[in-house]
A and B are shown apart, each in its own frame.
Chain A
Amino acid sequence: PWENRLNSSCLSVPLFNQKKRNRVPLTSAPSENEFFSHSIRQETQPQQYGGTRPAPGPAPRMTTYTPMPHPYKAGSTGFLIINTCTQQETFPVKPAIENSLRILTAVIDGMRHWSQFKDKVSYLFEIFATLDSAVTLGRHGAKNFLMRNGKTVVQCVFYENEQKLPRLIRGQLHRCVGNYDRSRDVLMCVSIRPGLPSELQNAQEAVKACDAEMRALVKSLNEV
């Protein structure tokens, strides 16, 4: 309702006093092809608006660009959008391939497979696997351990930058989220915790959905 009121008020010409309008030509020289003199009038004196607050003053001269701080977020001025281009422009609507971060639930083999497309898309992996080694201390405080899915094992590393490695129990299910380093065949874990049996069971469906998404993505990568 607000917008309608505003639009109709702004656009219904008879509401305004037409006689007061002056045409002030712009200083720029009109091009040879211009038939109409393009003029924008600016008020030269402040207007009286009711109320206790000072009226909005004259707009600054057009040549000065003064960005004003404003409490409201942009995008909801309530006015018609003034398209300052004289022609409908076509804008790029969407990049062909979504390249924001993805998080894929995968089994270890799947993680190794999908990581070959890392230069095209960025992703982290979530895996559910069994701790298959003791935790050993590496260089720069690295905590190293092995994770297993069936017959497949992957080397993992965790750095205690922000949080300590929680107590991990060998032979138990864990959930790891991290970045797979293909060249070193190591999963750099950023989050690790014990996994719930129900999570492992339910993760199968997530793995399927992620595989399907990745197959479709790889197909579209090949088409581009």
Chain B
Amino acid sequence: THSWDREAIQLVQTLIPRETVLFIADVKISFDSFRNGMAATVNSKTIITVNPDTREASMLFSYAREVAESGALDQDEKAEDMSVDSITDVFTVSQLKEKAQESPEAFFGIMYSFISKLDLDSSVSKVIRTRCSRCKFQVTDDMQSCTNQLCPGRDQGLSATTGFDLLVDFSDHTGTLHACSLRSPVAEHTLGCTVKEFTSLTDEERTAMKWKFLLERCKIYVKILPSPKARTGIRGMVLACSLADPGEVKQHMSALVQ
């Protein structure tokens, strides 16, 4: 008798995030231990009204649009203001993954691990991306305006930012943390190279730059965002990354065996 509600699933699949106001009457609200939070469950009594014609819904929609435009909803995506100097907890890859499963909150940590994926010498378009400053949608410089249908600044001229936009893997003796985002300006500091300098490098120079870091042990300051929607359940953002000092690695390793 407990079946997935096909109608409700099909309905929500058609909804556009941040563009739709829902009025939901008669939902069951209970604690969801998997998501570690309160979740609303649709049952047979539930009525979902899409974009209800009320003043409150209109105000809510305007408010959501304003907030989306301000970028406040992208908090998770922002490189934190948190200074790396205040990050002191050291983790192995498996410890990071465990902690992410235990806490729904974002947290910070240091890893001493090897960079096991760093695609600096694939096409430049995969390393450096231009995004609309308003909605972060990927665009090209020659566009007049953002091509994202839902961009809040679509009717204005294009305001774009170009920067490093890499997904990097980190491995140690306990496993691999996949697809951590390494973006500007952290990437500039890590690689010791500006976007402009990078675009003028030859393929050989890019490969050489890659091997300065690939499979080398690095000290990585990372922000971990537990993300139930990601395949791995976890998203990492690099806040700082540099080749590790062997003495520091030793300290970390000896702390592990004790």
Contacts and interface: CB of A to CB of B under 8 A. Distances in A.
Interface of A: 2, 5-6, 9-11, 13, 15-17, 20-21, 23, 26, 28, 33-36, 38-43, 47-53, 55-91, 93-94, 98, 100-105, 124, 126, 162-163, 177, 190-191, 196, 198-199, 201-206, 208-210, 212-214
Interface stretch (B83-91, B182-190, B191-199, B248-256): B248-256
B52 A72 contact: no
Contacts of A41: 47-50
B10 interface: yes
A86 B178 contact: no
The 9 closest A-B pairs by CB, nearest first: A71-B135, A87-B2, A202-B250, A205-B253, A100-B176, A202-B246, A71-B137, A98-B175, A209-B253
A39 to B, nearest CB: 6
Given A68-B16, A202-B247, A190 B215 contact: yes
B26 to A, nearest CB: 9
B48 A77 contact: no
Which secondary structure dominates where chain B touches chain A? mixed
A51 B62 CA distance: 8
B104 to A, nearest CB: 12
Given A71-B150, A202-B246, A56 B51 contact: yes
B32 A50 contact: no
Contacts of B148: 69, 71
Contacts of A56: 16, 19-21, 51, 61
B143 interface: no
Contact of B8 (A40, A43, A53): A40
A20 B52 contact: yes
B253 A206 contact: yes
Interface of B: 1-5, 7-25, 27, 29-30, 32-35, 37-54, 56-58, 60-65, 67-68, 72-74, 76-77, 93-94, 97, 101, 113-114, 116, 121, 132, 135-137, 148-152, 155, 169, 171-176, 178, 207-208, 211, 214-217, 227-230, 246-247, 249-250, 253-254, 256-257
B118 to A, nearest CB: 12
Given A38-B44, A47-B53, A162 B16 contact: no
A59 B11 contact: yes
A59 B51 contact: yes
Given A16-B56, A43-B51, A88-B33, A191 B215 contact: yes
10 contacts: A11-B27, A15-B56, A39-B47, A70-B17, A71-B132, A103-B171, A103-B172, A201-B246, A209-B173, A213-B173
